[in-house]
Structure 1
Amino acid sequence: MDYREFFSRFRYLSETPGIGGRIKVQPEDFVVVEDPLPSIFEGRKHAIFLLKKQNWDTMSVIKEIAKRAEMRYRDIGFAGTKDRHAVTFQYISVPIKTKERVEGVQIRDVELRFVSYGRFIKLGHLLGNRFRIIVRDVGEDAFERTRTIIRELRQKGGFPNYFGHQRFGEKRVTNHLVGKLLLWGDFEGAARLFLGAHEGGLEGDEARRHFWEIGDVDKALEEFPNFLRYERTLLHRYKETGSWRRAFLSLPLPIMRIFIHAYQSYLFNHYLSRRIEEGLSLNRALVGDIVVQMKGGIPYRDRTYRVTETNINFVNGTIQKGQAVVSGPLFGFSMRRAKGIPGRLEGEILEEENLSLEIFKKLPKPMAEPGGRRELLIRPLGLTYGYVPEMGMCFRFFLPKGIYATSVLREIMKDH
């Protein structure tokens, strides 16, 4: 299953036909610029570099920088992962003693520029990202159709805030399935799926197919290409320990947690799609909803309050002013549950998946997930668009952290 087939199960919010087209035809068509928290520039124990890259995912380039600078990759801090098929700008931190070695690193399709001293950058240390995206191969009516779609979505409160396909795997849509197996403690099944799932036609697929059929670890180590570094790490660690559980726990923490996050994301997308399907408003709260506070277009997901019969008019007033937004569930052991009709939807999804929130606490400690709430609608800030002859539609906008530009474009393109 490719990501288009996977995403076809999630409903669009707007009814106007999309503009179609293609994104990421060239890396320069998809430019991402990170807006960091100002606090990363406080202190002098770390050197802050601006990392420009293309044809690299963030974790892979971090490990390559560390290798060439002769340092531990865990000593390199970064605020978030950026797409491989794009031109991206983000900040990284390195210990001050490694500054000169990092300045000397030269990697194809990578530029490093020292910008300041500061602190260690942790995941989440960013406000959001600015995007400039070209959608190619669109028709002559693309501009007018875009305007109609955006007008319709503004009337409905914004764009549906789906997690993008990158969360689940662009070529092998399996991350959420691996996460579900890990959640149930089936580390062997998770390893078999992570290592063996294959679509056909991708480099390394023949080796994956062999492992899927016979499960021979030694043969897999001979056949798996070197660029499948996390797969090879898992195989080596299993050979050393004889434990798939220990093998998974040997992966870098951001990689290890991707699988659980992907499953949480799948369940959130399922909830959002079902709410659209049942005709329940995303822009007006229902009794029992949990709403998230908004300030300056940025959601404060740790500031939530429940909608009751007493406060519902007040809450919907704050939503219309852009000071709050209706949320959906990121299932986890300490997630605040909705009640009423929204609570029924959450309960149905948990029942269908045979889940309880406590199961998220039974994971190995680094993978345990408390969960939380996530806004159902996106309101891109500074959204502008226009038609560029011989290129296509050009979009520019800012999104808070954790929100996917591809989900904005999906509603406009309607290509999956």
Structure 2
Amino acid sequence: MDYREFFSQFKHLSKKRGTGGKIKVYPEDFIVIEEPIPSIFEGRKYAIFLLKKRNWDTMAAVKEIAKRAGISHRDIGFAGTKDRHAVTYQYISVPAEARNRVEQVEIRDVELRFVSYGRFIKLGHLLGNRFRIIVRDVSEDALDRTKEIVRELREKGGFPNYFGYQRFGERRVVNHIIGRLLLQGDFEEAARLFLGAYDGSMEGDEARKNFWETGDVERALEEFPGFLRYERTLLHRYKETGSWKRAFLSLPLPIMRIFIHAYQSYLFNLYLSRRIEEGLPLNEPLVGDIVVQVKGGIPYRDRTYRVTETNIEFVRGKVGKNQAMVSGPLFGFAMRRAKSLPGQLEEGILEEEGLSLETFKKLPKPMAEPGGRRELLLRPIGLTYGYIPEVGMCFRFFLPKGTYATSVLREIMKDH
């Protein structure tokens, strides 16, 4: 199953016919510019560089920079991972004493420019990202259709804030399934899927196919290519311990969390889709809903309050002024639960999946997930668009961190 088939289960909020078209035909069609939090430029212990990359994963680029500069990749900080099939600009921090070595680094399709001194950049140290995106191969009436869809969605309060396909895997759409298996304590089946799932179009698929059919660890260690380093780590650790659980726990924590977060994201998308399907409003709070505060268009997900019979008119006013947004569940052991009708919808999803919030606490300690809330709607800031003859539609907008440009375009293109 590819990501288009996977995403077809999630409902569109817009009823209008989409424009069709293709994104990321060329890396230059998808430009991402990071907006960091200003405090990264405070201090003198680290040198801050602007990293421009083309057709590079963020982590792969960071590791290559570290290798060429003779430092540990763990000493390089960045605020978030960026699309590979794109031209992206983001800030990285390196130890101040490594500035000269990093300035000497030359890598194809990677540019580094020293900006200033500052602090170590951690994941999440950004406000959001600016995008410039070209959609090619669109129909002749793409501009008119876009106008209709944007008008319709503005009336409905925004775009559905789905987690994008990047969260689940573009070709091997299995991250969320692995997460579910880990929650269920089925480390063996999780390992089988992580190691053996293949789509037939990627390097290493023959080795994955063989493992899927035989489960032969020795053969897999011979056949798995070196670039599948996490898969090889898992295989080596299993060979040493005979335990798939211990093998998983040998992986870096961010890698393990990818799977749990993907499953949480799947459940959030499911909740959002069900709410659309059942005709429940996304831009109007219901009694029992949890709303998140909004300031300057940026949601503050750690500042929430529950909608009750007594405060509902007050909350409606806040939502109407874009000072609050209705949220959905990121299931976890410390998540603030909705009540009444929204709460019943949340509970129904948990029951279908055979879960309780406590399940997220029973994971091995490093992987235990507290959960939280996430706004149901996405409001691109400064959205502009136009038609370029013989090229296609061009979109520009800013999105807060943790949201997906592909989810905005999905609603316009209706391609999946």
The answer to whether TM tops 0.5 is yes
In 1, Cα distance between equivalents of 2:245 and 2:104? 38
Write the deviation string for residues 140-180 of structure 1: whole angstroms up to 9, x where unpaired: 10000000000000000000000000000001100000111
For the pair 1:202 / 2:202, whether they are aligned, the reply is yes
Q: Which runs of 4+ in 1 moved over 4 A?
A: none
Quote the offset at 1:348 in angstroms.
0.2
State the secondary structure of the residue aligned to 1:169.
coil
CA gap 1:273/1:401 in 2 versus in 1, 3 angstroms: same
Range with greater deviation from structure 2 (73-82 or 10-19): 73-82
In 2, Cα distance between equivalents of 1:40 and 1:105? 23
Quote the offset at 1:96 in angstroms.
1.8
In 2, Cα distance between equivalents of 1:246 and 1:68? 33
Aligned twin of 1:310: 310
In 2, Cα distance between equivalents of 1:185 and 1:54? 39
State the secondary structure of the residue aligned to 1:191.
helix
In 1, Cα distance between equivalents of 2:213 and 2:120? 44
Q: Following superposition of structure 1 onto structure 2, how do residues 172-187 of structure 1 map, counting pairs within 5 Å?
A: 172-187=172-187
Q: Following superposition of structure 1 onto structure 2, how do residues 40-189 of structure 1 map, counting pairs within 5 Å?
A: 40-189=40-189
Letter in 1 for 2:159: F
Aligned-residue sequence identity (percent) comes to 81
Aligned twin of 2:33: 33
State the aligned residue count: 416
Which runs of 5 or more structure 2 residues have no equivalent in the other structure? none
Letter in 2 for 1:266: Y
State the secondary structure of the residue aligned to 2:81.
coil
Aligned twin of 1:21: 21
Aligned twin of 2:191: 191
In 1, Cα distance between equivalents of 2:242 and 2:43? 44
In 1, Cα distance between equivalents of 2:246 and 2:103? 36
Write the deviation string for residues 305-351 of structure 1: whole angstroms up to 9, x where unpaired: 00001111110111011000000000001000000000000000000
Aligned twin of 1:371: 371
RMSD: 1.2
In 2, Cα distance between equivalents of 1:67 and 1:243? 32
State the secondary structure of the residue aligned to 1:147.
helix
For the pair 1:412 / 2:412, whether they are aligned, the reply is yes
For the pair 1:336 / 2:336, whether they are aligned, the reply is yes
Quote the offset at 1:291 in angstroms.
0.3
Quote the offset at 1:68 in angstroms.
2.3
Range with greater deviation from structure 2 (255-264 or 51-60): 51-60
In 2, Cα distance between equivalents of 1:249 and 1:43? 35
Quote the offset at 1:231 in angstroms.
1.7
Query: TM-score, length-normalised on structure 1?
Result: 0.98
For the pair 1:217 / 2:217, whether they are aligned, the reply is yes
Range with greater deviation from structure 2 (157-166 or 249-258): 249-258
State the secondary structure of the residue aligned to 2:176.
helix
State the secondary structure of the residue aligned to 2:235.
helix
State the secondary structure of the residue aligned to 1:22.
coil
Aligned twin of 1:284: 284
State the secondary structure of the residue aligned to 1:21.
coil
CA gap 1:313/1:354 in 2 versus in 1, 3 angstroms: same
In 1, Cα distance between equivalents of 2:235 and 2:65? 24
In 2, Cα distance between equivalents of 1:249 and 1:380? 38
Q: Following superposition of structure 1 onto structure 2, how do residues 287-298 of structure 1 map, counting pairs within 5 Å?
A: 287-298=287-298
Quote the offset at 1:299 in angstroms.
0.1
Aligned twin of 2:382: 382
Quote the offset at 1:251 in angstroms.
2.6
Quote the offset at 1:64 in angstroms.
2.0
Letter in 1 for 2:165: H
Letter in 2 for 1:409: L
